[in-house]
Structure 1
């Protein structure tokens, strides 16, 4: 029986399983291959990569959590990526490939004109990797550029690296989702990315969970979404020291900007939301393929703003400001009480809208 999706997690892939995957790829039935923390022989891996490279229908390839065990497998993946022209999403989360390994991957992906989603979280990347990513972030005539990038948990990237990434983002008309959670951004690195988001006006999802942020960044986020709202719909500040009152204002502004009429309960607001699942988890269910495909169908040009839309933006801004003023009044008493306590504790408040 031929497969349209092959998804295996923490399994030993024997010869029979490998043959089934390869046969489905060869007969152009396979749309997604997902291998997470699986064990397979080098021969089996080589066969799968050969058929992935030859496939004309494969949309998503996931090789997470140690699948790329050595340089030889990395080279085999690079060869497959050079031959394959249909792949939209590549997920290699949790492989310690380092800067040199990413260079191999990016050089191969530059030949693919459809790639829109890249997950390279927890890959032990440093500042050099940020420079390697530039060709994928800045579109060319026949390449649209990435719409979703995951860089979670690459703690070797310094403030300089985040500043360079911000420059690329500010010039990218296509990037919609950026996941940089569990990195050492600090307020300085986060500020660079927020300025880039204001410049691009295209970012819809920004994940800053657990990145050593303080109230200073919370205020900057508030300034961003109030003055330069762009397309931003969701922002995660989980695991950072930002006041609850600031979070309430951010929630109100985002709600007004997105014209949301839903009355979200406090539990939904201040608890970890399941609405935005991490890219690595979504890849195992195939939902990332749908998201990347949807992004490909959107217009990345950013042109054609009409006078009617300008008037709508003005009304939107007025409506947003009105709701913000109401929220600021509601939280005023709370802030006054906080100010009276000289040992005020900044609370870690999980939020993802």
Structure 2
């Protein structure tokens, strides 16, 4: 069977490898408009069925030998017992202890978090450069105004999805700041601070004081728009916990959010499928969503918690809190 995939992000790249493994003819179309970050967080410290998607994603990364670097994490704040029990059931080691360099009690977890070098996954995909357009009335897909023919089309264009397909999702700007701190431990841990409202992750996991901090407000905007953000609202929260902090630069990209801020997939019209709404945690759940879509295409099996039709009654919505924030 011949597939055309629009979008070479984490979802499109995962689908490319999964479908080729099944013997299908796969072409990926990529405009090149979106920046690719070298590494992103993969975490099992989610909740509900999102943990299952994260497990499937981790299995996929390991099968493809995508480079990863496992690091311990510290979670600050009041986490419900049932969520902690779920983490423990997945084999994550969790210990509550006082962390002097944070000045707080926290949950120290091992085996739950890692940096995954998603750029290696994405760069392994052969693609055709071009801008795609979907004609839903005719059921056709065009690249640079030329029709491309396939048995099935899969649109995984991230923040461009709502423009191309009129699905119930929105584009928003998600961003973080690279900063220097004298606390070298921050270079060896992920920190999820639900008391102050920020996260911190090592730049490379090498034990330096250079870290990436974020969790500022999502800014709804069409993709590709030049954005200016107030990073001080986040840095003030970080300084309350860490003290002196020197920002180096702030950068971000556009993400796609759904009404419930969870992934979505389904068939838009016959032969044209959609997968998206990764809501800022695509490294955790992207390959898992890809597996759900392929299962649906092959056997018709549906996972209702993520299926597209759950938004059929939604008229208007605003971007909410990203789901990896417990």
TM-score band (shorter)?
A: under 0.3
State the TM-score, normalizing by the size of structure 1.
0.23
Structure having the higher helix fraction is 1
Structure 2 length as normaliser, TM-score?
0.24
Query: 1 or 2, which has the higher strand percentage?
Result: 2
Query: RCO greater where, 1 or 2, for CA within 8 Å and sep 6 or more?
Result: 2
